[in-house]
């Protein structure tokens, strides 16, 4: 039954734009001091989704006045060659942040590549040092999608303190770092966090108890209305392309939430596209500016 007529769409595009506009001013001030934030974006192979993401990241850099260094390597690039590139970027003073787009081709160890990054340039927050610091509640680079979810909530006036946040999905990129982030002792966290995953028994028992439900398991429209509590807040991290013969392209993007039905029950929800996605890029820019800011001034 639709008892909730006031569900609000959380506009990720608008919130991301506001973050980027704040950064634009700071970047201009940095450039006036001859400090141009620089981001190296490394793409290996030609995964179509990765190409789209990388293009968008580079475009945002150009728009904000961040130097973007593009490295497009072939799918058969060796692990050794990629490691060499990372070593050179680690010591390149023009480069403040390094992003290696995931996933990498199967013959390259993601773990080895991430561990080769300088933690001070790891604007994706994937290096084990940053992951560990996040868990410990220390200053670090927080990975961009979890940081984007937190910022979406705080800038929408949705408090997390004392709330039950249920995250469905336990990836290293989203589920695990988001759980670590929202359980921290800080004003925009302080949540009680539950992480569900593919082996969770009776998942609805948890999801239906969520004040804030985060769907990040990568299964199209997995979260159905019956799994959501009336009046909950829903954050949809999923980006799935599914066949749709009514579209010219033959497909459409959907999240991990069955939006149309869930929308009718909730207090607020993020759309796909236009929810979490734009926030991820905004947080990447924020981390890049932070990395540049941390460069010690020349004597």
Task: Provide the binding-site residues for ligand GUN, judged by CB under 6 A.
Answer: 99-102, 124, 144-145, 173, 280
What CA–CA distance (Å, rounded) separates 191 from 298? Answer: 41
For the CB of residue 124, give the shortest distance to ligand GUN in the complex, in Å.
5
Does the bond joining 273 to the residue before it have cis omega, within 30 degrees of 0? yes
By beta-carbon proximity to ligand GUN, the closer residue of 50 and 184 is 50
By beta-carbon proximity to ligand GUN, the closer residue of 213 and 239 is 239
Q: Which of 297, 287, 296 is nearest to 119 (CA)?
A: 287
Task: Please report which helix (H) or strand (E) contains residue 90, including its range.
Answer: helix 79-90
What CA–CA distance (Å, rounded) separates 171 from 184? Answer: 19
Q: 212, 235 in Cβ contact below 8 A? A: yes
By beta-carbon proximity to ligand GUN, the closer residue of 144 and 234 is 144
Residues 123-149, buried b or exposed e (16+ Cβ, 10 A)?
A: bbbbbebbbebbbeeeebbbbbbbbbb
For the CB of residue 280, give the shortest distance to ligand GUN in the complex, in Å.
6
By beta-carbon proximity to ligand GUN, the closer residue of 101 and 151 is 101
57 labelled catalytic: yes
What CA–CA distance (Å, rounded) separates 93 from 295? Answer: 9
By beta-carbon proximity to ligand GUN, the closer residue of 151 and 280 is 280
> 10 Å Cβ neighbour count for 154?
15
For the CB of residue 277, give the shortest distance to ligand GUN in the complex, in Å.
10
For the CB of residue 59, give the shortest distance to ligand GUN in the complex, in Å.
16
What CA–CA distance (Å, rounded) separates 295 from 248? Answer: 48
By beta-carbon proximity to ligand GUN, the closer residue of 60 and 101 is 101
For the CB of residue 173, give the shortest distance to ligand GUN in the complex, in Å.
5
Which of 57, 176, 265, 286 is catalytic? The answer is 57
For the CB of residue 220, give the shortest distance to ligand GUN in the complex, in Å.
17
Cα 48–Cα 52–Cα 53 angle in degrees, nearest 5:
120
> 10 Å Cβ neighbour count for 286?
23
Q: 191, 160 in Cβ contact below 8 A? A: yes
101 labelled catalytic: yes
Which of 124, 211, 236, 256 is catalytic? The answer is 124
What CA–CA distance (Å, rounded) separates 147 from 284? Answer: 9
Q: Which of 48, 68, 25, 10 is nearest to 284 (CA)?
A: 68
Catalytic positions, written as ranges: 57, 101, 124
């Amino acid at each position: 039954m639709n008892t909730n007529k006031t569900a609000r769409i959380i506009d990720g595009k608008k919130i991301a734009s506001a973050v980027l506009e704040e950064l634009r001013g700071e970047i201009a001030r940095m450039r006036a001091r001859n400090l141009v934030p620089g981001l190296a974006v490394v793409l290996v192979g030609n995964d179509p989704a990765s190409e789209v993401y990388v293009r968008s990241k580079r475009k945002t850099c150009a728009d904000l006045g961040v130097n973007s260094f593009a490295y497009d390597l072939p799918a058969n690039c060796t692990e050794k060659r990629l490691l060499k590139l990372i070593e050179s970027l680690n010591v390149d003073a023009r480069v403040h942040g390094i992003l290696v787009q995931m996933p990498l081709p199967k013959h390259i160890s993601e773990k080895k590549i991430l561990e080769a990054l300088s933690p001070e340039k790891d604007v994706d927050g994937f290096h084990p040092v940053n992951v560990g610091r996040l868990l410990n509640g220390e200053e670090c680079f927080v990975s961009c999608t979890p940081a984007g979810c937190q910022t979406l909530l705080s800038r929408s006036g949705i408090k997390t303190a004392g709330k039950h946040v249920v995250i469905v999905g336990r990836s290293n990129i989203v589920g695990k770092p988001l759980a670590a982030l929202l359980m921290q002792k800080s004003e925009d966290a302080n949540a009680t966090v539950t992480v569900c995953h593919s082996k969770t028994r009776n998942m609805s028992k948890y999801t239906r108890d969520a004040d804030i439900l985060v769907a990040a398991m990568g299964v199209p429209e997995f979260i159905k209305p019956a799994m959501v509590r009336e009046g909950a807040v829903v954050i949809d991290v999923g980006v799935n392309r599914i066949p749709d013969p009514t579209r010219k392209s033959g497909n459409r993007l959907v999240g991990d939430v069955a939006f149309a039905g869930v929308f009718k029950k909730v207090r607020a929800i993020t759309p796909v596209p236009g929810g979490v996605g734009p926030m991820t890029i905004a947080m990447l820019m924020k981390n890049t500016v932070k990395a540049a800011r941390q460069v010690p001034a020349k004597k």
